[in-house]
């Protein structure tokens, strides 16, 4: 391999590393083998929860006028402390028109998971309808 080829390869790797280090929040969704850069939405029939990357805002929307509402939580697992996932934010919507929004700064010192349930707040980051706790779902892990 020539010196020019090695230099070009090293330069390309450095640019890729720089781009990854300054990119906005990325989330890994089920079935993906790499993080994608964008807003993230999780949905159940009763409502949805969205992470809006521009401004680090979370939005929750109730789809049904059934009196129960939808409840979301944001969970954080630090890369430094080994306490596992901790709930750092909750939000809910129901009983009014429109959706509710809450800002929460997403950093890069750990991973985040958002969870939505119908009629109650989630009790752990990986709740789903499959776990038998009613209509719930969760996102893949993401961070800044």
Helix, coil or strand: residue 89: strand
CB 27 within 8 A of CB 113: no
Q: Within a domain: residue 30?
A: yes
Asked if 67 and 97 touch (Cβ cutoff 8 Å), the reply is no
Residue at 31 is within a domain: yes
CATH code, domain carrying 97? 2.60.40
For the cut 90, the answer to whether the pLDDT of residue 78 exceeds it is yes
77 domain residue, yes or no: yes
How many domains are contained in the chain? Answer: 1
Segments forming the whole domain that contains residue 60: 25-143
Q: Tens digit of pLDDT for each residue in 60-77?
A: 999 988 888 999 999 999
Helix (H) or strand (E) holding 8: helix 3-21
Give pLDDT tens digits for 15-62: 444 343 334 444 555 544 445 458 999 999 999 999 999 999 999 999
48 to 71, 80, 82, 118, 144: CA distances (angstroms): 9, 31, 30, 10, 22
Q: Is residue 97 part of a domain?
A: yes
Is residue 10 one of the residues assigned to a domain?
no
pLDDT given for residue 141 in this prediction:
94
The answer to whether residue 118 is domain-embedded is: yes
CA 69 – CA 46 distance, rounded (Å): 8
Q: Is residue 132 part of a domain?
A: yes
Per-residue tokens: 3: 């010196």
114 found inside a domain = yes
């Amino acid at each position: 391999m020539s010196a020019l080829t090695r230099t070009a390869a090293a330069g390309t790797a450095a640019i890729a590393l720089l781009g990854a280090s300054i990119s906005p929040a990325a989330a890994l969704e089920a079935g993906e083998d790499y993080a994608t850069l964008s807003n993230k939405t999780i949905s159940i029939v009763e409502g949805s929860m969205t992470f809006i990357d521009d401004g680090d805002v979370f939005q929750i929307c109730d789809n049904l006028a059934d009196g129960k509402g939808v409840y979301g939580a944001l969970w954080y697992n630090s890369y430094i402390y080994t306490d596992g996932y901790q709930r750092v934010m909750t939000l809910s919507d129901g009983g009014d028109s429109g959706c509710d929004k809450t800002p929460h700064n997403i950093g890069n010192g750990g991973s985040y998971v958002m969870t939505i349930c119908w009629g109650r707040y989630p009790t752990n980051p990986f709740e789903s309808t499959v776990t038998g706790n009613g209509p719930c779902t969760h996102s893949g892990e993401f961070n800044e």
